[in-house]
């Protein structure tokens, strides 16, 4: 890159006045080096409103020459003869600025550098196909010629003027206005010699004359909230140690026939340090505490509530402003990479909650970014989310879609994450979501589907699955929208998985009934199998089910303390036996009594109680069996992997099922008793004769139960039952579950 070669007439008085008033859209036409059309040689101009004097240092000789203050507002100028010009046509120089108060600073002149972004960059961005937009916009360290500095670029097509502001220029928007690139409305400026760690924002003058101070939408780092400045950060220097994991991931096309148990965590409240003012654990501390804990429990993945920078902790991360920056609450970006790296070295996948459905209205954020509805719709019937007081992305605008798509790819590439769980998909899919008649605008066919959002989600899944094989996407979609996990080429949205919200709500509604009444709600347990194979489902007991008065999982269970523990064990056993991948929110594994509170740590002292420790041991055992037994995970999305033994015993509130591996002779029989009454002499049919071993008995004393069971195993009898020639005569424990496998 060579210095810019301006060839202009002397600055017009009107353009100078616009510069002084911070309204000039083309500062490069006035500032920096230019050919001196009147006397030959070079004229150099600088604008420093707070400067008392400026000297120009010629780098070839070290000579200092005083610049003339040609306007009292702070415009300085000097004319040089051509002698000493560099090969590029202009001399190499620096500006030595003496400010009022005699503070002296020597800087390289940003206005002697040429354009960085190309017309092709702008073309791709405008048509929505610049899928690595984060490499072009934002703040990037680069070297131009011998000079290292930071290139800033921002999309603000309707702005009258955009400047970079920070400590390095006194947060004065008059000092470093940016160059407008047309068409497209992208502004850019290269600032030499700017170090990492500098705070900055973009000062934007709107068409109406208002002055906004906006954080960088593409920033890689931010100040710790509630401060809101973006931070210059080179995030490319971290040395990864997960090559083996990444190589294996690339070969693993999908997780469909592999075990997947997900531990959902909120980093700000999984654990804190109360003796140090209740401070957060850092990313590095979490890498050494959370990661081995989750691995020891037998989970295959960690899913994190949004780690992208967000101003309000009470949003749990779901109101994002720094889409490209891991929150600074827990440390710098490199430390989050360290956390992901530690997960991969422990053979744990990392899934991030991702929020492309809406964004908050904070004045330093995306809302009316250049004074107009840029990222959102202008019409509140399309652009405002009434439930959450947030704004909805305009998925029909190429640049907005580009922002979101490149953001999804960014986390998969730059941070090596293994998947994205997309939040609130239903709110994206429906134009009338949570709206009354007259409060929404139908699509072009008169329907309520948001066609732009549908196209965006299809594009998202095509790109992520195509560019990063082995990664997954999961939709939190709470309606019966068809084909959420069907491939795009078959007309679906293309997600790898869909959360099974219907199963979750039905099971919780059932299990919260008094056991004596469950016989009247038996269909809540069986209904999910009518649609279990219409999507690739994840069965979630997530954070949403343990807040806002819903009570913790353990406290939801009816009855006395013994019944609560036993019922929860039976529920988890049914979850792990039901087709679909599994997700459990933190604290659910050891039976936290109180609801989740994002402001404090989980109640880890409960693990000193044998009952809570036994529940955690039970979850660990479930994870172990789920991973070790192909019948429990290989055919999660294939009807051949499931069969009812008996789904009609509502009088006893007992369910019995079979799960099969791809090899149909590899199967597990399961029985679930949802009453506190032990069931002796309980007969279930089985496919083959033999000795059936109790793989799992949720009433075992090691799990806190009463050891009601079958002494470790039971032999089949040639008594027909449930369509089979062989059957088992069992003792089924109260509020318990059994997993039985034929011994080879």
User: How far is it, in rounded angstroms, from Cα 231 to Cα 513?
Assistant: 52
Instruction: Provide the phi-psi class of 549: left if phi over 0, else alpha when psi is between -120 and 50, else beta.
Output: left
Separation of alpha carbons 216 and 368, rounded Å:
14
Strand partners, 48: none
Active-site residue flag, 476: yes
CB distance 252 to 470 below 8 Å = yes
Largest CA-CA distance found in the chain, in angstroms, rounded = 111
Is the torsion defined by CA of 91, 93, 95, 96 positive or negative?
Answer: negative
Given the residues 264, 423, 535, 545, the one annotated as active site? 423
For helices 283-297 and 333-345, angle between their N-to-C axes, nearest 10 degrees: 20
| Cis bond before residue 183 (omega within 30° of 0) | yes
- Cα 663 to Cα 688: distance, rounded to the nearest angstrom: 14
In Å, what is the CA distance from 492 to each residue of 445, 488, 515, 553? Answer: 19, 5, 40, 34
Q: Which of 217, 212, 224, 408 is nearest to 320 (CA)?
A: 217
Written as six digits, the tokens of 293 are: 């804990």
Measured distance CA(615)–CA(610) in Å, rounded: 9
Q: In terms of DSSP H, where are the helices of 258-310? A: 267-270, 283-297
Strand partners, 438: none
Cα-based angle 436, 440, 446 (whole degrees, multiple of 5): 115
Asked if 110 and 191 touch (Cβ cutoff 8 Å), the reply is: yes
CA 406, distance to chain mean position in Å, is 13
The span from the CA of 272 to the CA of 268, in Å, is 7
Calculate the CA dihedral of residues 116, 119, 124, 130 and round it to 10 degrees.
-10
What is the chain's alpha carbon radius of gyration, rounded to the nearest angstrom?
31
- The yes-or-no answer on residue 387 being catalytic is no
Instruction: Supply φ then ψ for residue 149, to 5 degrees.
Output: -170, -160
Out of 55, 198, 418, 476, the active site residue is 476
3-state SS of 114-146 is: CCCCCHHHHHHHHHCCCCCHHHCCEEEEEEECC
Separation CA 344–CA 325 (nearest Å): 20
Tokens of 12: 């017009």
- Cα 2 from Cα 394, distance rounded (Å): 38
> What is the C-alpha to C-alpha distance for residues 594 and 630, in angstroms, rounded to an integer?
36
Tokens of 538: 């994840």
Please list the residues that pair with 78 across neighbouring strands: 44
As annotated, the active-site residues are 423, 476
């Amino acid at each position: 890159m060579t210095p810019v070669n301006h060839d202009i007439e002397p600055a017009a008085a009107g353009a100078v006045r616009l510069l002084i008033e911070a309204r000039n859209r083309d500062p490069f036409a006035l500032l920096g080096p230019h050919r001196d059309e009147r006397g030959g040689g070079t004229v150099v101009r600088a604008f420093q409103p707070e400067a008392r004097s400026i000297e120009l240092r010629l780098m070839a000789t070290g000579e200092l020459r005083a610049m003339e203050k040609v306007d009292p507002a702070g415009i300085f100028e000097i004319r040089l003869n051509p002698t000493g010009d560099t090969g590029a046509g202009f001399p190499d120089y620096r500006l030595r600025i003496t400010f009022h108060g005699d503070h002296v600073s020597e800087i390289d002149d940003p206005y002697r550098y040429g354009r960085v972004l190309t017309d092709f960059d702008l073309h791709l961005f405008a048509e929505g196909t610049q899928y690595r937009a984060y490499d072009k916009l934002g703040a990037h360290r680069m070297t131009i010629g011998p000079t290292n500095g930071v290139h800033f670029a921002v999309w603000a097509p309707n702005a009258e003027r955009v400047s970079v502001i920070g400590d390095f220029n006194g947060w004065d928007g008059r000092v470093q206005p940016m160059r407008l690139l047309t068409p497209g409305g992208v502004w850019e400026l290269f600032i030499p010699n700017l170090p990492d760690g500098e705070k900055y924002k973009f000062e934007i003058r709107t068409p109406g004359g208002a002055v906004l101070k906006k954080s960088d939408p593409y920033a890689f780092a931010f100040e710790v909230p509630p401060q809101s400045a973006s931070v210059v950060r080179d995030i490319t220097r971290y040395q990864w140690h997960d090559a083996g994991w990444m190589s294996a991931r690339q070969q693993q096309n999908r997780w469909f026939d592999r075990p997947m148990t997900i531990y959902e965590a909120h980093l700000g409240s999984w654990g804190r340090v109360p003796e140090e003012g209740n401070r957060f654990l850092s990313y590095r501390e979490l890498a050494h505490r959370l990661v081995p804990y989750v691995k020891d429990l037998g989970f295959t993945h960690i899913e994190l509530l949004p780690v992208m920078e967000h101003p309000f902790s009470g949003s749990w991360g779901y109101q994002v402003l720094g889409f490209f920056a891991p929150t600074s609450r827990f440390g710098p970006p490199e430390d989050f990479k360290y956390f992901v790296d530690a997960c991969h070295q422990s053979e744990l996948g990392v899934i991030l909650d991702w929020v492309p459905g809406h964004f908050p209205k904070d004045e330093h954020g995306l809302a009316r970014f250049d004074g107009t509805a840029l990222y959102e719709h202008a019409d509140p019937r399309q652009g405002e989310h009434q439930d959450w007081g947030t704004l909805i992305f305009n998925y029909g605008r190429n640049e907005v879609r580009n922002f979101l798509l490149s953001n999804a790819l960014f986390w998969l590439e730059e941070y090596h994450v293994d998947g994205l769980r997309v939040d609130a998909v239903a709110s994206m899919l429906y134009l009338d979501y949570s709206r009354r008649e007259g409060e929404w605008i139908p699509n072009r066919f008169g329907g309520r589907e948001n066609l732009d959002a549908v196209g965006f989600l299809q594009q998202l899944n095509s790109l992520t699955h195509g560019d990063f094989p082995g990664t997954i996407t999961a939709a939190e979609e709470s309606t019966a929208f068809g084909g959420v996990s069907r491939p795009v080429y078959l007309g679906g949205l293309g997600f790898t998985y869909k959360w099974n919200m219907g199963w979750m709500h039905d099971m919780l509604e059932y299990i919260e009934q008094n056991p004596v009444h469950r016989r009247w709600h038996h269909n809540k347990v069986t209904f999910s199998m009518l649609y279990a194979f219409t999507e690739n489902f994840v069965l979630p007991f997530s954070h949403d089910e343990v807040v806002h008065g819903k009570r913790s999982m353990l406290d939801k269970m009816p009855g006395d303390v013994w019944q609560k523990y036993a019922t929860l064990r039976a529920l988890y056993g049914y979850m792990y036996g039901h087709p679909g991948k599994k997700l459990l929110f933190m604290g659910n594994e050891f039976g936290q009594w109180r609801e989740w509170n994002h402001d404090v740590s989980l109640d880890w002292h409960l693990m000193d109680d044998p009952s809570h420790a036994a529940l955690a041991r039970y979850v660990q055992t479930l994870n172990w069996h789920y991973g070790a037994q192909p019948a429990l995970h290989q055919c999660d999305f294939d009807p051949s992997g499931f069969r009812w033994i008996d789904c009609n015993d509502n009088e006893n509130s007992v369910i019995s099922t079979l799960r099969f591996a791809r090899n149909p002779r590899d199967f597990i029989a399961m029985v679930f008793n949802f009453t506190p009454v032990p069931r002796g002499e309980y007969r279930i049919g089985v496919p083959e004769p033999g000795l059936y071993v109790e793989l799992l008995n949720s009433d075992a004393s090691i799990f806190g139960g009463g050891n009601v069971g079958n002494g470790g195993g039971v032999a089949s009898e040639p008594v027909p039952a449930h369509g089979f020639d062989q059957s088992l005569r069992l003792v089924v424990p109260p509020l318990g579950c059994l997993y039985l496998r034929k011994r080879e």
